[in-house]
C-alpha cells in the first residue's frame, strides 16, 4: 500500500501537540528570531540584540533537555526542580555577565555552553538508566530529524526568497535586502525548531525494543569513515616514526590532524554500535580495540607539540582547549582499551562535563590563559630591564626584535581579550589613567592604539601584528553602504556612516573625512 501524506489537518494537529509538549522551547525560538530581526534592522543597541540572541539560542537545547528529563517515568520532583533552577540560573548568569566579557571570551563561552547543552539533550533522558539501545535509537532519531529539518528549512527559505525576488522583478514591489534575512530568521528559529521538535520521540524507553538499523549508516561508517580513519592512523604512526628517528619536534599542525582523526573515529564507533553484537560484524570490536590503542601514540605526539608551543609562547585559550581535549581523549582511550566497555554514553556525558568545568573559575581556559600570558610578559620585560620591584618602567636596554614582537603581541592579546586590569598595578596611577590601563577589553584599531601606548610607555617600539588595521593615531575607520551617498545643495555629500567597533573618536565633536575625488 502506498503511504499517504499527512493532510493539512493532521499537520496542524501535530504542530499543536508539539507546542503543548515544548512551549518554552518554541518561545525561545521566537525570541531568537525577534532578536535576529532587530539585529538585521538595526533597531536598538546592537550589544543588547546580540546578548538576547545568544541567550535565547542557548535556551533552545537546554530547555529541550530539561523537558525530556521531566518526561522520564521515574522523575523526581526535587531533582527536576533543582535542574530547572540550575538551568534558569545559568541562562540568567550568562545574560548578566555578557557585557563584562570581551568578544573573544563571549564567543568561547557561548560555544562551550552550546556544546554542553546540546550534549545534555543526548544523554540526560537516560542518565542512570541501563537503556543502551534506546540511547542509540533516540540519538539516531534526533540526528535524522535534524537533517530533515535542515533540508526542509533550507528548501523553504530558498523557495520563498525566489518568490520575493520574482515579486520584485515582475511587479516592481520593493523588497529590501533585509527582508530575506528576516525570512531566514523566522524559518531558522521558529519553523526549523518546531519541525525538529515534532520528530523528537515522546517515549524514549520504548526504543529499547527497536532493532532496526539503517543500512546507510552502516555502509557510510564501514566503507567510508573506517577506511579513512585507518589511513590517517597509519599516516600518524609513520610520522611518529619520523619524529623518533630524526629527533625533531612534531609539527604544530599535528594537533588539528589528531583531533580530526579522533573525532571521525569516535563517530564511526558510535554509528556502528548497534551492529557490534552481530556475529557477522565481529570486525567492529576489532576496529574499536585497535582504534583506541592506535590513537594513544598520536596523543603523546600531540602533547609533545603542545609542550613546545606552550614553552615558547605560553598558554592561550586555543592551546588550553587542545590540551584539555587531548587529556579527555587519552582518558577515553585508556578506559576503553582496559575495560573493553561498550557504554557509549560516557562519550557525550564526559565531554559535557569537560565543557562545563572549563567554563569559569581559576582553572578555566580564560583565567589560565590570562595568567600565563601575564607571567610571560613579565619575564620578557625583566629581560629588557623594563620591569623591576613589581613595577614596569622604561626599558634600560633595547630588547631583541623577537622580544619586542612578543611583548607587543601579548599586550595586544590582553587588551583585546581580557582588558588590562591584570597589569594595571605595574604602572603609576597617572600613567595608567593616561593610557587607559585597567579598563575593559577593546577590539580593532582601538586595541592597536591602546597596545601601542602601553608598549611605548615602556620605551619599546610597538610591532603591529598580522591582524592589525594599521591606522595611525587620530585616524578612524568608517563604512557606508553602496548607493547611500547623496549629493546635497550647499554641502558636498550626505554620507550615512557606521563606525567599526573600537573606531569611534574618543572625544565629542566633528570628525574630518577624507573622501577620494573619483570613484
Please report which confidence band the pLDDT of residue 490 belongs to, taking 50, 70 and 90 as the band edges: low
The SS3 assignment for 486 reads: strand
Question: How confident is residue 407, by pLDDT bands cut at 50, 70 and 90?
Answer: very high
- pLDDT tens for 423-432 read 988 988 767 7
Residue 117: inside a domain: yes
Residue 286 and residue 417 share a domain? no
Q: What percent of the chain has pLDDT over 90?
A: 55
Does the pLDDT of residue 276 top 50, yes or no? yes
Residue 33 lies in a domain: yes
Burial class (CB in 10 A: 0-12, 13-18, 19+), 466: exposed
3-state secondary structure 373-439: HHHHHHHHHHHCCCEECCEECCCCCCCCHHHHHHHHHHHHHHHHHCCCCCCHHHCCHHHHHHCCCCC
Least confident among 274-288, 354-368, 441-455: 274-288
> pLDDT class for 272, splitting at 50, 70, 90?
confident
477, part of any domain = no
Q: Are residues 169 and 38 in the same domain?
A: yes
Position 142 in a domain: no
Do 47 and 191 reside in the same domain of the chain?
yes
Domain that holds residue 379: 365-457
What pLDDT sits at residue 218?
81
N residues, the chain: 519
- What pLDDT does residue 286 have? 83
**The pLDDT of residue 510:** 44
Residue 401's alpha-carbon distances to 380, 404, 411, 414, in angstroms, are 12, 5, 16, 20
Is 509 a residue whose pLDDT tops 50? no
One domain for residues 334 and 432: no
Query: Which cell numbers hold the place of 189?
Result: 528559529
pLDDT in tens, 154-187: 999 999 999 999 999 999 888 898 999 999 999 9
Residues 192 and 250 in one domain: no
Q: What is the DSSP string of 166-215?
A: HHHHHH-----HHHHHHHHHHIIIIIHHHHHHTTS-S-GGGGGG-----H
Average pLDDT over residues 213-232: 88
Q: Please give the residue that has the higher pLDDT: either 68 or 8.
A: 68
Q: Name which residue leads in pLDDT, 508 or 153.
A: 153
Is it the case that residue 117 has pLDDT exceeding 70?
Answer: yes
The string of pLDDT tens digits covering residues 433-484 is 777 676 778 888 888 888 998 999 999 999 887 555 445 545 555 555 555 5
**What is the count of structural domains for the chain?**
3
Q: 296, 333 in Cβ contact below 8 A? A: yes
Same domain for 410 and 311, yes or no, is: no
Q: Identify the pLDDT of residue 105.
A: 97
Cross-strand partners of 367: none
Q: Is the pLDDT assigned to residue 92 strictly greater than 60?
A: yes
Contact 51, 91 (CB under 8 A): no
Co-location of 120 and 257 in the same domain: no
Task: Summarize the confidence of residues 342-362 as an average pLDDT.
Answer: 94
How sure is the predictor about 374, in pLDDT bands with cuts at 50, 70 and 90? very high
Asked if residue 496 belongs to a domain, the reply is no
Do 187 and 218 fall within a single domain? no
Q: Confirm whether 243 is domain-assigned.
A: yes
What pLDDT is attached to residue 518?
45
Regarding whether 329 and 261 lie in a shared domain, the answer is yes
Average pLDDT in the chain? 86
Residue 493 within a domain: no
pLDDT, tens digit (0-9, with 9 covering 90-100), for 307-322: 999 999 999 999 999 9
What CA dihedral angle connects 22, 24, 26 and 29, to 10 degrees? -140
Displacement of CA 181 from its chain's centroid (Å) = 22
Q: What per-residue confidence (pLDDT) applies to 143?
A: 94
pLDDT in tens, 197-214: 999 998 888 888 888 888
Choice between 499 and 6, residue whose per-residue pLDDT is larger: 6
Same domain membership, residue 429 and residue 343: no
pLDDT at 255 over 90: no
Q: Are residues 71 and 51 in the same domain?
A: yes
Q: Span 237-262, mean pLDDT?
A: 85
pLDDT, greater one: 135 or 473:
135
> For the residues 119-140, what does the mean pLDDT come to?
91
What is residue 488's predicted lDDT score, i.e. its pLDDT?
65
Question: Do 93 and 186 lie in a common domain?
Answer: yes
Amino acid at each position: 500500500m502506498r503511504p499517504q501524506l499527512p493532510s493539512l489537518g493532521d499537520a496542524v494537529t501535530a504542530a499543536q501537540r508539539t507546542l503543548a509538549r515544548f512551549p518554552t522551547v518554541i518561545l525561545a525560538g521566537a525570541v531568537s528570531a525577534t532578536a535576529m530581526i532587530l539585529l538585521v534592522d538595526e533597531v536598538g543597541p546592537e550589544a543588547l540584540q546580540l546578548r538576547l540572541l545568544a541567550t535565547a539560542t542557548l535556551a533552545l537545547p537546554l530547555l529541550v533537555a530539561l523537558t525530556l528529563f521531566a518526561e522520564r517515568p521515574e522523575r523526581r520532583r526535587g531533582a527536576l526542580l533543582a535542574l530547572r533552577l540550575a538551568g534558569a540560573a545559568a541562562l540568567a548568569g550568562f545574560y548578566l555577565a555578557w557585557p563584562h566579557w570581551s568578544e573573544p571570551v563571549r564567543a568561547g563561552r557561548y560555544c562551550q555552553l552550546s556544546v554542553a547543552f546540546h550534549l545534555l539533550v543526548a544523554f540526560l533522558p537516560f542518565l542512570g538508566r541501563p537503556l543502551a539501545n534506546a540511547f542509540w535509537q533516540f540519538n539516531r532519531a534526533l540526528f535524522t530529524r535534524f537533517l530533515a529539518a535542515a533540508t526542509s528549512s533550507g528548501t523553504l527559505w530558498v523557495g520563498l526568497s525566489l518568490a520575493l525576488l520574482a515579486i520584485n522583478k515582475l511587479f516592481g514591489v520593493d523588497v529590501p535586502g533585509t527582508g530575506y534575512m528576516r525570512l531566514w530568521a523566522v524559518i531558522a528559529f521558529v519553523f526549523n525548531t518546531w519541525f525538529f521538535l515534532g520528530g523528537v520521540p515522546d517515549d524514549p524507553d520504548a526504543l529499547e525494543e527497536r532493532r532496526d538499523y539503517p543500512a546507510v549508516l552502516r555502509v557510510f561508517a564501514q566503507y567510508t569513515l573506517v577506511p579513512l580513519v585507518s589511513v590517517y592512523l597509519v599516516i600518524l604512526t609513520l610520522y611518529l616514526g619520523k619524529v623518533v628517528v630524526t629527533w625533531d619536534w612534531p609539527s604544530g599542525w599535528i594537533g588539528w590532524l589528531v583531533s580530526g582523526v579522533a573525532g571521525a573515529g569516535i563517530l564511526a564507533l558510535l554509528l556502528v554500535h548497534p551492529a557490534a553484537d552481530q556475529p557477522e560484524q565481529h570486525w567492529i570490536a576489532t576496529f574499536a580495540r585497535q582504534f583506541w590503542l592506535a590513537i594513544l601514540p598520536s596523543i603523546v605526539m600531540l602533547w609533545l607539540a603542545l609542550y613546545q608551543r606552550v614553552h615558547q609562547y605560553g598558554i592561550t585559550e586555543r592551546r588550553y582547549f587542545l590540551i584539555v581535549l587531548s587529556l579527555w581523549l587519552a582518558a577515553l582511550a585508556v578506559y576503553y582499551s582496559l575495560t573493553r566497555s561498550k557504554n557509549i554514553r560516557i562519550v557525550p556525558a564526559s565531554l559535557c562535563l569537560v565543557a562545563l568545568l572549563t567554563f569559569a573559575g581559576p582553572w578555566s581556559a580564560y583565567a589560565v590563559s590570562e595568567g600565563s600570558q601575564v607571567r610571560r610578559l613579565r619575564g620578557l620585560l625583566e629581560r629588557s630591564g623594563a620591569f623591576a620591584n613589581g613595577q614596569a618602567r622604561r626599558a634600560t636596554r633595547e630588547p631583541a626584535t623577537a622580544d619586542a614582537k612578543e611583548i607587543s603581541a601579548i599586550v595586544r592579546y590582553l587588551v583585546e581579550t581580557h582588558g588590562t586590569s591584570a597589569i594595571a598595578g605595574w604602572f603609576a596611577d597617572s600613567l595608567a589613567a593616561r593610557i587607559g590601563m585597567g579598563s575593559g577589553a577593546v577590539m580593532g584599531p582601538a586595541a592597536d592604539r591602546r597596545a601601542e601606548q602601553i608598549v611605548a610607555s615602556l620605551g619599546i617600539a610597538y610591532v603591529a601584528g598580522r591582524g592589525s588595521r594599521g591606522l595611525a593615531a587620530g585616524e578612524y575607520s568608517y563604512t557606508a553602504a553602496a548607493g547611500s551617498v547623496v549629493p546635497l545643495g550647499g554641502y558636498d555629500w550626505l554620507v550615512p556612516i557606521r563606525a567599526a567597533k573600537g573606531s569611534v573618536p574618543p572625544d565629542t565633536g566633528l570628525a574630518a573625512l577624507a573622501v577620494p575625488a573619483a570613484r
